[in-house]
């Protein structure tokens, strides 16, 4: 008999994953080219060639114990040093290996940091819409996720709601920019306003409130938009970075946490995060992946491929009467559903073989997410279905 908690988790298991599986079934029934699967944020752009070269070179290292052996739970020293130098060069920080912990992607990093920080009942605030897995990551450690209402005008975070949502139990504010599911990049000014509120409340409540900046999409920003580096804006910031999207390596499960020396209780936090890495069963991030990504820190995927998808889908949908803001980053469009019930709307889209994810999954009912990290030709083939859906709702 499985645990009661797991019974409900299985029952409410990821809508996105369920759709992905459904898409595979539909492809078998109707033919792959007749199903338009926009459900999963699985990068469609190839990793740079330098990455595949680095994988081969690293795997060929004659010292198998070095490449494949156990190591310090926080990761290889030399990999962490290289990552620190890379961040310092880009953002003018002064990190070293003592500020970096290698993780099993962003998901692994967030679980490690929540295990490190949360007592049962501690509150973690997130701006809606947000990546739905935060619910699980927080409840894994008996924290309470506090969801702030979305600001549907432009999907910038609802800063006005932040101050009154902070209590003596608030431990973390999650920031995710570029954002999944909206593609919005939070401006420096917005982040400064957030920082000012947190600083004020920390003093008032005599507590530490950490920002956990979840950054798998940091490198995916279009039109030269800057993504501010939050540790330079707010002292108590811990960054969760991932190579899943930046180098198109989601299956390799590699990322890192940045734990600046300036945060409150730095020594305890760093030590505890190392132990959390071990006792959550990760032990350490995959060794081969640590080594090969450290050779590719300046590499980038071809963003123009996503940009072309973004332009085609955004312009076409607008033409058919869909409402959405133009995303500045990541690879998602967050579109207003043509009826209040986003689940019914997504089900109607499915009848046209369009797989899109209801916004309520992201804490924002009445919208749907369309992941455009897909083949350009699939987007082209899908357009008549989007148009027909709009026509069914008399929007065009």
Contact residues: ligand PLP, CB under 6 A: 41, 105-107, 131, 176, 180, 214, 216, 242, 244, 250, 255
Q: Which two tokens stand for residue 213?
A: 């900046």
Closest distance to ligand PLP from the beta carbon of 242 (Å): 3
State the Cα angle at 345 between 341 and 347, rounded to 5°: 120
Is the CB of 105 or the CB of 150 nearer to ligand PLP? 105
Could you give phi then psi for residue 161, rounded to 5 degrees?
-85, -10
Q: Which two tokens stand for residue 306?
A: 């996503």
Is the CB of 105 or the CB of 329 nearer to ligand PLP? 105
CA–CA separation, 234 vs 193, rounded Å?
10
Closest distance to ligand PLP from the beta carbon of 180 (Å): 4
Closest distance to ligand PLP from the beta carbon of 176 (Å): 5
Closest distance to ligand PLP from the beta carbon of 282 (Å): 12
Is the CB of 182 or the CB of 202 nearer to ligand PLP? 182
Closest distance to ligand PLP from the beta carbon of 238 (Å): 14
Instruction: Find out whether 114 and 126 touch, Cβ atoms under 8 Å.
Output: no
Closest distance to ligand PLP from the beta carbon of 346 (Å): 18
Radius of gyration of the chain (CA): 21
Closest distance to ligand PLP from the beta carbon of 106 (Å): 4
Is the CB of 230 or the CB of 389 nearer to ligand PLP? 230
Residues whose CB is less than 8 angstroms from the CB of residue 7 and which lie 6 or more positions away in sequence, other chains included:
none
Residue 25, CA atoms < 13 Å, CB-side half-sphere:
8
Q: Which two tokens stand for residue 221?
A: 């920003």
Is the CB of 47 or the CB of 250 nearer to ligand PLP? 250
Hey, is 239 helix, strand or coil?
Answer: strand
Residues whose CB is less than 8 angstroms from the CB of residue 152 and which lie 6 or more positions away in sequence, other chains included:
364, 367
**Shortest-Cβ-distance residue relative to ligand PLP:** 105
Closest distance to ligand PLP from the beta carbon of 255 (Å): 5
Is the CB of 239 or the CB of 389 nearer to ligand PLP? 239
Tell me which residue of 357, 358, 344 sits closest to 393, measured CA to CA: 344
Q: Residue ranges of the alpha helices (H) in the chain? A: 4-11, 15-30, 49-59, 64-68, 77-91, 105-117, 133-139, 162-165, 188-205, 243-246, 266-279, 287-293, 303-319, 342-351, 376-392
Closest distance to ligand PLP from the beta carbon of 332 (Å): 9
Is the CB of 289 or the CB of 389 nearer to ligand PLP? 289
Closest distance to ligand PLP from the beta carbon of 29 (Å): 27
CA–CA separation, 336 vs 338, rounded Å?
6
- Other CB atoms within 10 Å distance of the CB of residue 396: 13
CA–CA separation, 364 vs 342, rounded Å?
9
Peptide bond into 129 cis (omega under 30): yes
Residues whose CB is less than 8 angstroms from the CB of residue 66 and which lie 6 or more positions away in sequence, other chains included:
none
Is the CB of 143 or the CB of 250 nearer to ligand PLP? 250
Is the CB of 237 or the CB of 242 nearer to ligand PLP? 242
Is the CB of 150 or the CB of 216 nearer to ligand PLP? 216
């Amino acid at each position: 008999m499985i645990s009661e908690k797991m019974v409900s988790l299985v029952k409410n298991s990821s809508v996105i994953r369920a759709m992905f599986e459904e898409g595979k079934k539909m492809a078998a029934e109707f033919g792959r080219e007749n199903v338009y699967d926009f459900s999963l944020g699985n990068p469609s752009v190839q990793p740079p060639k330098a990455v595949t070269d680095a994988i081969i070179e690293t795997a060929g290292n004659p010292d198998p114990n070095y490449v494949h052996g156990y190591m310090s739970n926080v990761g290889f020293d030399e990999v962490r040093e290289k990552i620190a130098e890379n961040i310092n060069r880009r953002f003018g920080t002064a990190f070293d290996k003592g500020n970096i912990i290698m993780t099993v992607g962003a998901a692994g990093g967030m679980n490690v940091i929540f295990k490190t920080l949360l007592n049962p009942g501690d509150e973690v605030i997130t701006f809606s819409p947000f990546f739905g897995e935060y619910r699980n990551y927080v409840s894994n450690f008996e924290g309470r996720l506090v969801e702030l209402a979305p600001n549907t005008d432009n999907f910038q975070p609802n800063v006005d709601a932040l101050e009154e949502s902070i209590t003596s139990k608030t431990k973390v504010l999650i920031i995710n920019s570029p954002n999944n599911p909206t593609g919005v990049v939070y401006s420096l000014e917005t982040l400064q306003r957030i920082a000012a509120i947190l600083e004020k409340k920390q003093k008032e409540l005599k507590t530490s409130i950490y920002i956990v900046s979840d950054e798998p999409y940091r490198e995916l920003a279009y039109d030269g938009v800057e993504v501010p580096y939050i540790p330079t804006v707010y002292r108590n910031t811990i960054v969760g970075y991932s190579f899943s999207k930046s180098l198109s390596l989601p299956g390799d499960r590699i990322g890192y946490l940045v734990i600046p020396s300036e945060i409150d209780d730095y020594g305890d936090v760093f030590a505890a995060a190392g132990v959390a890495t071990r006792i959550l069963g990760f032990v350490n991030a995959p060794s081969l992946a640590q080594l090969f990504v450290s050779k590719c820190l300046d590499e980038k995927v071809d963003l123009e491929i996503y940009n072309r998808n973004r332009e085609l889908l955004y312009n076409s949908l607008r033409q058919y009467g869909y409402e959405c803001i133009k995303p500045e980053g990541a690879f998602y469009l967050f579109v207003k559903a043509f009826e209040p019930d986003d689940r019914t709307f997504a089900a109607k889209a499915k009848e046209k073989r369009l797989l899109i994810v209801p916004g309520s999954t992201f804490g924002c009912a009445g919208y749907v997410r369309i992941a455009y990290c897909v083949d350009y030709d699939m987007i082209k083939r899908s357009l008549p279905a989007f148009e027909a859906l709009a026509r069914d709702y008399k929007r065009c």
